[in-house]
């Protein structure tokens, strides 16, 4: 089996070491004897959405986010079709905002986004910074990560997580992220796949089984990641770990 991963805007949207998501994804797939090709793509490159098995976009500054949006919006119909057809996406940090209807800035400017999901984003006057613990309905382990966001999602109809500790899609919400088909979007950074080994295994298993339902997995080598996860939970959230 060979899988192609598209790492979009690797040079613009890579705050907080978010490229760690690609590194651990590639390593764990290769440990399963799967050939992996990572395509590093950015503004000016042609995007052939159908040719990728997995698409990743990380976090960036507000300015770089808008630069990426100006390029990505040329492919919005292809992206919509791909998501409806169960293409795998992982989108972290403020790149989740690209998939809503529009982005409202603090200055009142409005940027049309991809309009894949029926939410919009509003930049805030303050930044929301916190270590977070979320809960999902698809894995047993809690999801941990870091939020450093200056925007909130309004009218999110497809949340991915329940907020245990941290900030929701908007301050009064108890949900966060976007989950639809095989699209996984969250403000959490960290990088999320490194900090959450069970989430990493879940995504990889779904991706691989979608290509070969009879695939036999090797033993996972995630001991260090599991130790780091357990240590964080024990030291910070002992009551729920």
CATH number (domain holding residue 150): 3.40.50.880
Q: How confident is the model at residue 126, as a pLDDT?
A: 83
Residues spanned by the domain of 197: 2-236
| pLDDT for 165 beyond 90 | no
Q: Which residues contact 144 (CB under 8 A, 6 or more apart)?
A: 131, 132, 133, 134, 190, 195, 196, 229, 232, 233
Does residue 52 form part of some domain? yes
Does residue 186 form part of some domain? yes
Q: Which of 212, 156, 148, 205 is nearest to 182 (CA)?
A: 205
Alpha carbon distance 239, 241 (integer Å): 6
| pLDDT for 171 beyond 60 | no
Q: How confident is the model at residue 168, as a pLDDT?
A: 66
pTM: 0.95
Q: How confident is the model at residue 169, as a pLDDT?
A: 62
- pLDDT mean across residues, the chain: 94
Does residue 241 form part of some domain? no
Question: What is the pLDDT confidence band of residue 158, given thresholds at 50, 70 and 90?
Answer: very high
- The two tokens of residue 57 are 């976009």
Per the structure, how many domains does the chain have?
A: 1
Question: What is the pLDDT confidence band of residue 27, given thresholds at 50, 70 and 90?
Answer: very high
Which of 33-42, 64-73, 120-129 is least confident? 120-129
Number of neighbouring beta carbons within 10 Å of residue 120: 19
Q: Averaged over 100-112, what is the pLDDT?
A: 95
Q: Which of 148, 154, 146, 150 is nearest to 102 (CA)?
A: 154
| CA-CA-CA-CA dihedral for 137, 167, 231, 221, to nearest 10 | 50
């Amino acid at each position: 089996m060979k899988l192609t991963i598209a790492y979009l805007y690797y040079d613009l949207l890579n705050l907080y070491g978010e490229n760690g998501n690609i590194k651990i994804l590639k390593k764990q797939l290769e440990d399963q004897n799967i050939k992996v090709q990572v395509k590093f793509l950015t503004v000016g490159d042609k995007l052939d959405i159908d040719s990728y098995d997995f698409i990743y976009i990380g976090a960036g500054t507000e300015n770089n986010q808008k630069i990426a949006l100006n390029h990505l919006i040329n492919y919005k119909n292809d992206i919509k079709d791909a998501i409806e057809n169960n293409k795998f996406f992982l989108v972290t940090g403020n790149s989740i905002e690209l998939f809503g209807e529009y982005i409202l800035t603090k200055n009142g400017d409005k940027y049309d986004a991809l309009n894949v999901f029926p939410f919009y984003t509003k930049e805030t006057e303050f930044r929301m910074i916190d270590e977070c613990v979320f809960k999902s309905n698809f894995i047993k382990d809690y999801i941990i990560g870091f939020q450093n966001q200056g925007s909130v999602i309004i009218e999110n109809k497809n949340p991915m997580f329940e907020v245990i500790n941290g900030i929701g899609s908007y301050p009064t919400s108890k949900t966060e992220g976007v989950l639809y088909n095989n699209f996984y979007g969250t403000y959490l950074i960290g990088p999320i796949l490194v900090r959450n080994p069970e989430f990493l295994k879940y995504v990889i298993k779904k991706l691989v089984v979608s290509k070969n339902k009879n695939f036999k997995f090797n033993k996972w080598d995630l001991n260090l990641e599991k130790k780091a996860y357990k240590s964080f939970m024990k030291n910070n959230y002992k009551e729920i770990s």
